[in-house]
């Protein structure tokens, strides 16, 4: 009998179906791996089990009895503990306080029993003795720790719940190999105690080293559950891709006719290193679209922002049009001819509440060193850029917020087209953009490439990359691990490169 079983659970956020039909069966004494691409619904499924998301439909049973999980407190009472991917630590408190945060030992039912707290925390800190690194101590403030150390605290906090069922949502993403090895030893110990564990990871080697069974989830649906011993990496990737290996292995059609006609290099990056990425080298020719692929958050955005002067660089060099570009701010990069479009529109792109015309002109102001803003002249300048994207809006003086998300993003892109840049850096530009706007964007991007721009495109949607990029650099753990060109640009190869060990 299964320890924990979720059958047919679903969850929609507004019109977005995050989870269509999730099934998961976890047995006592096993490590059950959950795998799927970005946005496939893994995290939603885990959150439903942990009570922080309420399902719209479906059934959950614990030891064969149907249960209702009322919330995180309820889940804890039922014996379900979770490690969250987004760290949930109190930055200003110490390591030991954070470990015991979910269940503080009390004296007289009111005061915190410091001795009991230290003693209990010490048990979990000792588990990672020798691999936790310098500066890791029971009384260290969590905010002062490194990312991997904070992740260890989060693991200890999950372990300290002593729950019979433990869910780990990407617990190893920041850990080094010794820490991962120790964590796996601990998991094996818990397995021997008969605890049930759910483990989410994107690293194939880890999955095959610690997992007993694996459940693949794709587009919000559970696709298959198999014993690790009975499957292999290619099969699992094939299940994630969702096409028979033969079809998934087909190369995408030649993305752009400019492939052979590509001009001289316009952007060249050598050994670029900084927080979140290291030793990145590549070259972009005029007329070429270079894709950045891989799992979400493997350094793609950091590299694009670093080139644009909006993310720190510690080593390496960027050359734009043959000239060294050490952009310390976006301002400097823009003046050299770089353009950057972020997928996080509301943070990096639109100037909320302001008229459309003011959202179109900031780059023009800077590149032309303007002092006066003459509305009629500016509208004339902006019109071709706006029309090239088929942007629909009532008038230039209407606030940007009156537009749909797709049209807002078109305005943000159009601001770069009044004065042509040489290099266009696209950082997941179609996030939250409707289908027709996406089509408009990509036909424009291909047209710009044909007109001689060098384009770097990072997309979290593999289909966009395969359809538009001439070459794809696959990022893994902050480095480029594979370059796919020509016939190698297949969905299968892209997945395999993204999920293999860093």
Partner 1 sequence: MNVGALVRQPLVVALALIVVLLAFGEWLSPGFAAPQQILRLLIVAALLGIVAAGQNLVILGGREGIDLSVGGVVSLSAIVAGNLMSGADSGIPLAILGCVATGALFGLFNGLGVTLLRIPPLVMTLGMLGVLQGLLVVIRQGIPSGRAAPALSQFVSQPFLLGLPGIIWLWIAIGVVMALLLTRTVFGHRVYAIGSNEHAAYMAGVPVRLIRIAIFVLSGVFAAIAGICLLGYSGSSFANVGEQYMLPSIIAVVFGGTPLSGGKGGYTGTMAGAVLLTILQSILTTVHIDESGRQMVFGATLILLMFFYGRGKAMRA
Residue 237 or 378: the one with the smaller Cβ distance to partner 1 is 378
The distance of closest approach from Cβ of residue 441 to partner 1 in the complex, given in angstroms and rounded to an integer, is 18
Residue 204 or 356: the one with the smaller Cβ distance to partner 1 is 356
Contact status: 366 vs partner 1 (CB under 8 A): yes
Contact status: 490 vs partner 1 (CB under 8 A): no
Residue 109 or 353: the one with the smaller Cβ distance to partner 1 is 353
Q: Which of 25, 358, 428, 470 binds partner 1 (CB under 8 A)?
A: 358
The distance of closest approach from Cβ of residue 242 to partner 1 in the complex, given in angstroms and rounded to an integer, is 36
Q: Which of 372, 376, 394, 435 binds partner 1 (CB under 8 A)?
A: 372
Q: Which of 57, 373, 463, 501 binds partner 1 (CB under 8 A)?
A: 373
The distance of closest approach from Cβ of residue 400 to partner 1 in the complex, given in angstroms and rounded to an integer, is 10
Judged by CB under 8 A, the stretch of 140-148, 242-250, 344-352, 430-438 that binds partner 1 is: 344-352
Q: What's the rounded Cα separation, in Å, for the pair 171 and 151? A: 7
Contact status: 374 vs partner 1 (CB under 8 A): yes
Measuring CA to CA, which residue among 46, 45, 56, 49 is closest to residue 11? 56
3-state secondary structure of 500: coil
Residue 276 or 293: the one with the smaller Cβ distance to partner 1 is 276
Tokens coding 395: 């008038």
Judged by CB under 8 A, the stretch of 139-147, 262-270, 324-332, 467-475 that binds partner 1 is: 324-332
Contact 256, 500 (CB under 8 A): no
Contact 483, 471 (CB under 8 A): yes
Measuring CA to CA, which residue among 169, 228, 142 is closest to residue 42? 169
The distance of closest approach from Cβ of residue 399 to partner 1 in the complex, given in angstroms and rounded to an integer, is 9
Tokens coding 436: 């027709």
Measuring CA to CA, which residue among 232, 193, 228 is closest to residue 214? 228
Contact 140, 152 (CB under 8 A): no
Looking at residues 254 to 313 of the shown chain, list those that interact with partner 1 (rule: CB under 8 A).
308, 310
Tokens coding 247: 């079809």
Contact status: 458 vs partner 1 (CB under 8 A): no
The distance of closest approach from Cβ of residue 402 to partner 1 in the complex, given in angstroms and rounded to an integer, is 14
The distance of closest approach from Cβ of residue 499 to partner 1 in the complex, given in angstroms and rounded to an integer, is 32
Q: What's the rounded Cα separation, in Å, for the pair 244 and 54? A: 34
- Residue-wise DSSP of 41-96: SHHHHHHHHTTSS--SEEEEEETTEE----SHHHHHHTTEEEE-SS----TTSBHH
The distance of closest approach from Cβ of residue 352 to partner 1 in the complex, given in angstroms and rounded to an integer, is 5
Q: Kindly report the number of other CB atoms within 10 A of residue 230's CB atom.
A: 9
Q: Which of 286, 415, 482, 496 binds partner 1 (CB under 8 A)?
A: 415
Q: Which helix (H) or strand (E) holds 277?
A: strand 277-285
Contact status: 340 vs partner 1 (CB under 8 A): yes
The distance of closest approach from Cβ of residue 26 to partner 1 in the complex, given in angstroms and rounded to an integer, is 42
Contact status: 353 vs partner 1 (CB under 8 A): yes
Contact status: 103 vs partner 1 (CB under 8 A): no
| 3-state SS, one letter per residue, for 198-217 | EEECCCHHHHHHHCCEEEEE
Contact status: 417 vs partner 1 (CB under 8 A): no
Contact status: 365 vs partner 1 (CB under 8 A): yes
Whole-number Cα distances in Å, 21 to 33, 236, 266: 18, 19, 47
Residues that bind partner 1 (CB under 8 A): 308, 310, 329-331, 334-335, 340, 342, 346-354, 358, 361-363, 365-366, 370-375, 415
């Amino acid at each position: 009998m299964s320890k924990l079983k979720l059958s047919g659970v679903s969850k929609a956020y507004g019109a977005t179906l995050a989870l269509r039909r999730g099934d998961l069966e976890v047995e006592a004494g096993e490590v059950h791996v959950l795998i799927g691409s970005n946005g496939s619904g893994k995290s939603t499924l885990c959150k439903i089990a942990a009570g922080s998301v309420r399902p719209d439909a479906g059934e959950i049973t614990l030891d064969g009895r149907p249960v209702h999980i009322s919330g995180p407190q309820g889940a804890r009472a039922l014996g379900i503990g979770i490690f969250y991917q987004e760290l949930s630590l109190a930055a200003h408190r110490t390591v030991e306080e954070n470990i015991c945060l979910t269940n503080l030992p009390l004296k007289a039912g009111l005061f915190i029993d410091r001795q009991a707290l230290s003693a209990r925390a010490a048990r979990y800190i000792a588990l990672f003795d020798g691999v936790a690194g310098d500066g890791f101590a029971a009384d260290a403030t969590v905010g002062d720790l490194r990312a991997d150390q904070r992740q260890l605290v989060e693991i200890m906090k999950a372990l300290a719940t002593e729950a019979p069922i433990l869910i780990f949502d990407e617990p190893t993403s920041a850990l080094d190999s010794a820490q991962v090895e120790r964590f796996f030893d601990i998991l094996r110990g818990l397995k021997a105690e008969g605890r049930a564990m759910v483990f989410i990871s994107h690293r194939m080697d880890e999955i095959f080293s610690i997992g007993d069974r694996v459940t693949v989830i794709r587009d919000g649906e559970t696709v298959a559950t198999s014993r690790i011993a009975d499957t292999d990496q290619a099969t699992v990737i094939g299940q994630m891709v969702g096409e028979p290996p033969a079809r998934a292995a087909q190369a995408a059609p030649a993305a752009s006719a400019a492939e052979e006609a590509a001009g001289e290099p316009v952007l060249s990056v050598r050994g670029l290193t900084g927080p979140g990425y290291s030793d990145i080298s590549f070259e972009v020719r005029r007329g070429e679209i270079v894709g950045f692929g891989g799992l979400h958050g493997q350094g793609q955005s950091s590299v694009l922002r670093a080139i644009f002067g909006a993310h720190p660089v510690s080593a390496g060099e960027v050359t734009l049009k043959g000239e060294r570009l050490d952009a310390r701010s976006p301002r400097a990069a823009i003046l050299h001819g770089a353009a950057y479009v972020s997928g996080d529109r509301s943070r990096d792109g639109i100037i909320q509440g302001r008229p459309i015309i003011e959202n179109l002109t900031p780059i023009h102001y800077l590149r032309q060193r303007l002092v006066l803003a003459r509305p009629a002249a500016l509208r004339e300048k902006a019109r071709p850029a706006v029309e090239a994207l088929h942007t629909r809006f009532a008038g230039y003086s209407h606030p940007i917020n009156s537009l749909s998300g797709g049209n807002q993003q078109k305005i943000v892109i159009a601001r770069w087209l009044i004065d042509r840049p040489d290099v266009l850096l696209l950082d997941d530009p179609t996030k939250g953009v409707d289908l027709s706007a996406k089509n408009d964007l990509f036909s424009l991007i291909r047209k710009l490439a044909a007109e001689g721009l060098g384009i770097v495109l990072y997309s979290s949607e593999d289909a966009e990359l395969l359809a538009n990029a001439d070459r794809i650099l696959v990022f893994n753990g902050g480095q480029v691990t594979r370059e796919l060109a020509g016939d190698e640009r297949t969905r299968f190869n892209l997945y395999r490169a993204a999920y293999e060990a860093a």
